Amino acid sequence: MEQTILTAFSAVGFPIVVTFYLLTSFQKSMDKFTDKLGELIQELRRFEKR
Give SS3 for 24: helix
Region 11-31 average pLDDT: 84
**What is the distance between the alpha carbons of residues 8 and 2, in angstroms, rounded to a whole number?**
10
pTM above 0.85, yes or no: no
**pLDDT tops 90 at residue 14:** no
Query: What pLDDT score does 7 carry?
Result: 78
